[in-house]
Amino acid sequence: MGKLHLARLPQYNPFPGPVVFIIMDGVGIGKGDESDGVFLAYKPVLDQLFKEPLYAQLKAHGTAVGMPSDEDMGNSEVGHNALGAGRVFAQGAKLVSAAIASGAIFRGEAWKSALERAKSGGTLHFIGLLSDGNVHSHIDHLFAMLEKCAAEGVTKVRVHPLLDGRDVGERSALSYTRPLEAKLKELSVSGRDYRVASGGGRMITTMDRYNANWSVVERGWKAHVLGEGRSFGSASEAVQAYYDEDPTMTDQYMESFVVAENGKPVGTIENGDAVICFNFRGDRVIELSRAFEEGSEFDKFDRKRCPEVFYAGMMQYDGDAHIPKHFLVEPPAIDRTISQYLCAEGVTSFAVSETQKFGHVTYFWNGNNSGYVDEKLEKYVDITSDNVQFDQRPWMKAAEITDATMDAVRSGKYKFVRLNYPNGDMVGHTGVPISIRIAVETVDLGLKRLLPVIEEAKGIAVITADHGNADLMFTEKKGTREPMVAHTLNPVPFIIKDFSGANTITMKGVAAPGLSNVAATLLNLLGYEKPDDYDESLIVIE
């Protein structure tokens, strides 16, 4: 790739302040009824912004963000990819489904190496999120691999399912563990031994991200590798027991468990085994991958023992750091992101969020690449998240994010500033209405504090979201309300608030606008033409 270059907009008038891009994670446009936490929240600033002339609604799910179909919800990973890349790339679920359908996944070296271990006396282990949420994984992908194992003559398989309750119903685990156990029983013939070995709720076991809480990974390690944890006869027995003991228990917060027989775990991970992580999304399994792949330098927790295994991810979760070393499906090759172009033009930028979403305004924004594009021009700030359930502190670190952004704007050092308020998404996933409303109100308060500072600097604020969540708190069937803890299929708001007065900006009226149109729009606001292959800008500057 040659040196990147952006053409200047000939009719553009520069202005002193920055372009500040504000991502209200999980704040979509819902039905405007009592199920809509965004609608119900007291949000005078957003209510006024929704009336601005430079307002649009953007598609943030399905094919607009690279998912297989428009029945698939968006998510933070693909949303920030689209925002930062200015184009739509086929994403994890679509890539994996295509690789399975074509058989390419089974012809790769990683799959062959895993099977070689399994056929040489080892056990083949699968670890991943067990649901059809299609955000981190899909149960169909696991079933396809299990069936292939049987066809290839693998005699011993163990599955370590992580319970979802976040991208699917909050107490839906049995609708996945029971079919899994039935599938494993069906395949356990002709000398084959396929079983569930351990598991737990995703927010308690294994699936930490951004180094927020390594004890989550440690609990997973103890259950999956060491066989340490509360014992049950099956995964479904464990789920039902936890439900019975605590009627308020939801799947994502369910404690880890170990399946045992005659007092012994049925599936610890030992020397000579192979381990496949079947999540295709990387953020919540990078730490697990590190625990398996790093040697004596690993210092995040005491692994007690680290078996010699062949480890592979469904995809490579971090292309820069090469985590993991082995993977089944090539990730989308996202090149020429907006950050790369801006750095090539010498534009200074600032990015901030708290730990829960820090990687979204850095790693995912930069096309699944960690680290700086150009450290001389960029500043990234990660504000440490609280390790509590998000409905307990729905304000999260929004105040600190706002403080850091205000300081960045006032400093005059940065022409482009981006931030992510995680509240609407992280609290939306809890399904607790009062907390969701407070989360949205917290974001509104952040805007109330931040916008005057942008105005003072004579800058431009651009406000949107990566997908919906807080906009649907529950669904109702036959008079019974069920908490809705997954992302929505709703559009998201897009607002430009111009405090610079330097240019005449009008909305273009793009057909079916989506998140991928935002990058070209930001480039225009910064005074540049979009690259030829970027999706169309939403605005005209005159």
3-state SS class at 424: helix
3-state SS class at 376: coil
Give the active site residue among 35, 69, 76, 289: 76
Mark whether 385 is an active-site residue.
no
**DSSP secondary structure letters along 79-92:** HHHHHHHSS----H
Cβ atoms within 10 Å of 44's Cβ, excluding its own = 12
Which DSSP category does 122 fall into?
P
Cβ atoms within 10 Å of 261's Cβ, excluding its own = 12
Q: How far apart are CA 173 and CA 256, in angstroms?
A: 13
Residue 221 is which amino acid?
W
Which DSSP category does 533 fall into?
T
Which DSSP category does 227 fall into?
-
Q: Say what angle helices 92-102 and 139-151 make with each other, to 10 degrees.
A: 20
List the one residue out of 225, 223, 148 whose CA is nearest residue 192.
Answer: 148
3-state SS class at 221: helix
What six digits make up the tokens of 534? 């970027």
Q: How far apart are CA 11 and CA 17, in angstroms?
A: 18
Q: How far apart are CA 524 and CA 506, in angstroms?
A: 12
Q: How far apart are CA 184 and CA 154, in angstroms?
A: 13
Beta-bridge partner residues of 380: 351
List the one residue out of 225, 257, 253, 227 whose CA is nearest residue 241.
Answer: 257
Structural contact between residues 68 and 94, judged by C-beta atoms closer than 8 angstroms: yes
Which DSSP category does 55 fall into?
E
Q: How far apart are CA 433 and CA 436, in angstroms?
A: 5
Tell me the pairing of strands 19-24 and 460-464.
Answer: parallel
Q: Which residues does the annotation mark as catalytic? A: 76
